[in-house]
Chain A
Amino acid sequence: MQQHKSNGTLRILADPGFRELTSARAKLRWSLSVVTLIMFFGFIVVISTARGALGAMIPGSAIPVGLLLTLAVIGLVVVLTGIYVMRCNSRFDELARAVKQEFGR
Chain B
Amino acid sequence: MKVRSLFIALLTSLPFTATAEAAATTTRGPNWIAIGMFLVIVVTTLVITFRSAGSTKSKAGFYTAGHAITPLQNGLAIAGDFLSAAAFLGISALIYANGFDGMLYALGFLTGWPIVLFLMSERMRNLGSYTFADAVAYRLDRTPIRLVAAFGSLVVVLFYLIAQMVGAGKVIELLFGVNYLFAVIGVGILMILYVAVGGMQATTWVQITKAALLLCGGTLMGIVVLWKFGFSFGDLLTAAGKVHPKGTAILSPGGFFAEPVSAISLGLALVFGTAGLPHILMRFFTVKDAESARKSVFYATTCIAYFCLIIPLLGFGAVAILMPDPSYFNVGASGQFNKITDLIGGPNMASIHLAQAMGGPILLGFISAVAFATILAVVAGLTLAGASAVSHDIYGQVIAKGQASEAREVWVSKVAAITIGIVAVLLAYAFENQNVAFMAGLALSVAASCNFPVLATVIFWRGTTTRGAVAGGLAGLIAAVVLVVASKIVWVAVFKFPAPLFPYDNPALFSMPLAFLFIWLFSITDQTARAARERKSFDEQFVQSEIGMLQADSPAPASS
Contacts and interface: CB of A to CB of B under 8 A. Distances in A.
**Residue among B106, B114, B234, B305 facing the most chain A CB atoms (10 A cut-off):** B114
A45 B115 contact: no
B73 interface: no
A54 B260 contact: no
Contacts of B263: 44, 47-48
Main secondary structure of the interface of A (DSSP, over half): helix
B305 A78 contact: yes
B305 A75 contact: yes
B103 interface: yes
A63 B225 CA distance: 16
B234 A78 contact: no
B259 interface: yes
B547 A100 contact: yes
Contact of B104 (A30, A47, A89): A47
Interface in A29-54: 29-30, 32-33, 36-37, 39-41, 43-45, 47-49, 51-52, 54
Interface in A1-58: 5-6, 9-10, 12-13, 18, 21-22, 25, 29-30, 32-33, 36-37, 39-41, 43-45, 47-49, 51-52, 54-56
Nearest to A103: B549
Given A6-B540, A54-B252, A105-B549, A40 B118 contact: no
Contact of A33 (B114, B302, B309): B114
Interface of B is mostly: helix
Contacts of A45: 260, 264
B110 A51 contact: no
Contacts of A12: 543, 547, 549
B117 A84 contact: yes
Contacts, number: 151
A62 B234 contact: yes
Nearest to A53: B252
Interface stretch (B54-62, B82-90, B174-182, B290-298): B290-298
Contacts of B309: 71, 74
A46 to B, nearest CB: 9
A100 B549 contact: yes
Given A52-B252, A54-B253, A66-B253, A74 B305 contact: yes
B226 interface: no
Interface in B238-281: 238, 248-249, 251-254, 257-260, 263-264, 267, 271
Given A84-B118, A100-B549, A105-B550, 6 more contacts: A25-B546, A44-B260, A45-B260, A48-B257, A51-B252, A85-B294
A-B interface, 9 closest residue pairs, ranked by CB to CB distance from nearest: A55-B252, A62-B234, A85-B298, A40-B111, A48-B260, A36-B114, A9-B540, A51-B253, A64-B251
